[in-house]
Amino acid sequence: MPVAREVLAHAADPATAGRAALLADTRRRTWSQLADDVRAGAVHLQGAGTVAGDLVAVSIADPVDAVVAMLAVDLLGATALVCDPTWTRPHRAEVLRAVEPTTFCDVALPRGLPGTAGPRDAPAPADDDRPWAGFSSGSTGRPRAVVRTRASWAGSFGAAAALTGTRPGDVVVVPGPLASSLYCFATVHALATGASVRFARGGASLVAALADGCVVHTVPADAVEVLDAIEAGAPSALRTLVVGGASLPEGVRERADRRGIATFAYYGAVELSFVAYDDDGAGLRAFPGVELDVRPTPGSRLGQVWVRSPWVALGYLARASGPFVREGGWASVGDLAEAPGGPGQDAPLVLRGRGDGAILTGGATVVPEDVEVVLRRVPGVRDVVVVGTAHRRLGAVVTAVVECDARPGLRAHLERVARSNLAPAQRPRRWYGVRTLPRTASGKAARAAVSELLLDGPGTLEVLR
């Protein structure tokens, strides 16, 4: 977590030292207390043999303790590898065996007393340090660990603060796990800015956090939950709704506007960081410092998104393979979009999913997001994932897995909407219903996990009737 020195600076300022830095349910750490804890944690790790340049795996469920550990690692000049504490022990062991961290930290580090001294010979931070590594949000197979430099995150803080309206003294609500780069960035950015971070675990905790939360970082599903709660009368100090993801749910911006809440939507990737943003409903455009190039795909109306940006990560640890590729200063993770193509174009970026997620059915190419955006409008549908399932004659057919409560006639209604709004090749041939879709650590629907459920056989999901 590349902001240890900023935290120490806030703690040294008499105007901010006694203010809250971290809040989580019943826990509260002021800037001064946080700085003491970070210094004590760094001394403990140093005593255990951790040195600058080491890779330190951090797998701690409590977000306050996890932040302290990551900041302590940064203060030593080492790299904090943020793991998902919900992994099973065998899975965690398999993942860590591949990346071979020097140190593993799965318990809270010792707390510091007031005025705790820092570690010996802690190096000064540099732009090319590697203070953070985290895993891609893929839910199947072996996760890939992405590592980035200090500058690739910290350099974007000014633009992110201006665009989201985050100010010193604000309370920034973070309702997801630090294992997600979306929520980890939200935490890092808030601390660097001098804002308090309030961790919330969704549901009642998230609703309660809105009472004094100025800015909240969410995925699309949580954005709807936030607005539902406010419209139902929950006390709220919310000023900005920050939504990470390729598409903003229909009606969210309008609902937020009616409550005087600004909406900042953005698209990015663990490997690319910020790519594009939309703060006024006019569509996604390049984030400051980013150049976009949508390179046409032969025989398709879609192109692959490439970026040239100072915010791009270094790559994967342990020489892992993945969608992240570089070419002549440009980088891509294979996302597809509609746009005129060519660097410097002003037209909004219209995302159409990951290239390897497209469904080839009977000679036609179907982009799942095109189908999902239509089906999500149907009353009773909380969310939907569209994937391809094998078909002997067509190669694959479009299959919809709908998160919903059992309701007579829902499938018939969905089919009517599909007939009215989708081309024949786009219309789902198979329909399944679930109460809760599998989700990634960041809260996004896990497309790969849904595909695995379908591979396990029809008996694992309920046919939507």
- Asked if the structure places residue 305 within a domain, the reply is yes
What is the per-residue pLDDT for 139? 33
What is the per-residue pLDDT for 141? 45
Does one domain contain both 15 and 92?
yes
Token pair 């675990």: residue: 201
Does one domain contain both 141 and 44?
yes
- Asked if the structure places residue 2 within a domain, the reply is yes
Does one domain contain both 458 and 320?
no
Sheet holding 262-269: strands in order across?
Answer: 27-30, 20-24, 196-199, 171-174, 215-218, 240-244, 262-269, 273-278, 285-286
The yes-or-no verdict on residue 234 having pLDDT over 70 is: yes
Output DSSP code: residue 355: G
Q: Which of 318, 339, 356 represents a domain boundary (last residue)?
A: 356
Does one domain contain both 293 and 384?
no
Q: Give the type of residue at 154.
A: A
Residue 398 maps to which CATH number? 3.30.300.30
Q: How confident is the model at residue 343 (pLDDT cuts 50, 70, 90)?
A: low
- Asked if the structure places residue 99 within a domain, the reply is yes
Does one domain contain both 6 and 116?
yes
Q: How confident is the model at residue 140 (pLDDT cuts 50, 70, 90)?
A: very low
Does one domain contain both 106 and 11?
yes
Q: Which of 258-272, 305-319, 445-459 has the lowest mean pLDDT?
A: 445-459
- Coil, strand or helix at 4: helix
Number of domains in the chain: 3
Q: Which two tokens stand for residue 180?
A: 């997600």
How are beta strands 215-218 and 196-199 bridged, if at all? unpaired
Residue 25 maps to which CATH number? 3.40.50.980
pLDDT single digits (tens) 362-389: 666 687 888 898 899 899 999 999 988 8
E strand or H helix at 80, and its extent?
strand 79-82
What separation, in Å, do the N-terminal and C-terminal C-alpha atoms of the chain show?
48
Q: Which of 310-319, 332-341, 414-423 has the lowest mean pLDDT?
A: 332-341
CB count within 10 Å of CB 103 equals 17
Token pair 């590898």: residue: 81
Question: Is residue 2 within 8 Å of 132, Cβ to Cβ?
Answer: yes
- Which structural domain, as residue segments, surrounds residue 304? 271-356
From CA 55, how far away is CA 58, in angstroms rounded? 10
Reported pTM: 0.82
Q: Considering only CA atoms, which of 121, 94, 76, 154 is closest in space to residue 311?
A: 154
Q: Among 35-39, 139-143, 295-299, 382-386, name the most confident range.
A: 35-39
Q: Which of 298, 324, 356 represents a domain boundary (last residue)?
A: 356
For the chain, give the number of residues. Answer: 465
Does one domain contain both 283 and 388?
no
Q: Among 134-148, 400-414, 431-445, name the most confident range.
A: 400-414
- Coil, strand or helix at 311: coil
- Coil, strand or helix at 214: coil
